[in-house]
Amino acid sequence: MILVTGAGGFVGGVIARMLRARGDEVRTVARNDYPALLALGCTHVKGDLADAAVARKAVEGVDAVIHVAAKAGVWGKASDYESSNITATQHLLDAAAQYGARRFVYTSSSSVTFDGSDAVHANESSPYPTRYLAHYPRTKAEAERRVLAANGKRDLVTCALRPPLIFGPGDPHFLPRFVQRAKAGRLAWVGAGSEVDVTYVDNAAHAHLLALDALAGPAPKPAGKAYFISQGTPVKTEAWVGELLADLGVRPVTRRVKLPVAYAVGAVLEAVWWLFGLAGEPAITRMIAAQLGTSHHYDLTAARADFGYQLLVSDADARRRTIEFLREELAAGRL
């Protein structure tokens, strides 16, 4: 049996469906109930993984863990990110060691190595930064460290995957936010143009299954390692997003802001939100400005060599499916 955390969400849901489609027994854990997962034949544990007892209940009797659940985003309380991303991960690692789960695949993020500057054709030798621009990458990096450090303890083998900018049907954050802001006339390009890696959700999920299977061998290559995964071909941000907006009939983005200006505005807004405890999140933060205004794409050599990563869904099919999803969201008034 395989435990999938975050299966009620975007990436975790696809992973659970793929596992069930190939005949694996799947257990899920989340704070809420998800009838669609039960309809798939998954068993479910209801609770918060920040509670060690919930983690133990979820892990007991499983052979492997795919840990996808996390608090995402670029704004919020440090304690919330630490509880969801660090404490929950540590509880799962402790429970896996206690109950003898053999394999542990962690959904990390490419942002764990993002220091605010360009990262062109970067690979896994890129160091963790000495400081982060948001709590999300900081806590994801700490959780990743713990997952990799747990490799080899009590026969547990672990690895981490670092997908950038996941998109596709069901996307709750990335492209829907671009569409909403463009519709409202509140979207601007930052800097002189950038190239970034993106990851279609089915390809991200497929990578998790490949890594999980590779950890099962007698001398698993991925053990104790982190890997970048993506579509493998960087996109020019403005052209890629601009073409999607055009296909959706959304007004083109014409405004442009210099990166230092966007970064400074983000810093000021963060300070205002923090000082006055304002609800919601700033329109722009330092992290958003830096990500929009810099290039970051990655070398996939290690993932291809160690667990045979390759695209399950082509760029063209990924784009077509995503457009269909976004059109449905617009028609239903959800965007």
Q: How does DSSP assign 97-161, residue by residue?
A: HHHT--EEEEE--GGGG--SS-EEEE-TTPPPPSS-SSHHHHHHHHHHHHHHHTTTGGG-EEEEE
Residue 25 contacts residue 58 (beta carbons within 8 Å): no
With H, G, I as helix, E, B as strand and everything else as coil, classify residue 40.
helix
Q: Which residue has the tokens 């402790």?
A: 94
> Which of 81, 136, 200, 263 is labelled catalytic?
136
For 280, residues 6+ apart whose C-beta sits below 8 A from its C-beta are none
Catalytic residue check, 227: no
* Amino acid letter for position 22: R
With H, G, I as helix, E, B as strand and everything else as coil, classify residue 85.
helix
Comparing CA positions, the residue from 150, 181, 167, 157 lying closest to residue 253 is: 181
Residue 255 contacts residue 189 (beta carbons within 8 Å): yes
- Measured between alpha carbons, how far is residue 233 from residues 134, 159, 168, 227, 299 in Å? 27, 23, 16, 16, 10
Comparing CA positions, the residue from 137, 65, 135, 136 lying closest to residue 94 is: 65
With H, G, I as helix, E, B as strand and everything else as coil, classify residue 47.
coil
Catalytic residues: 136
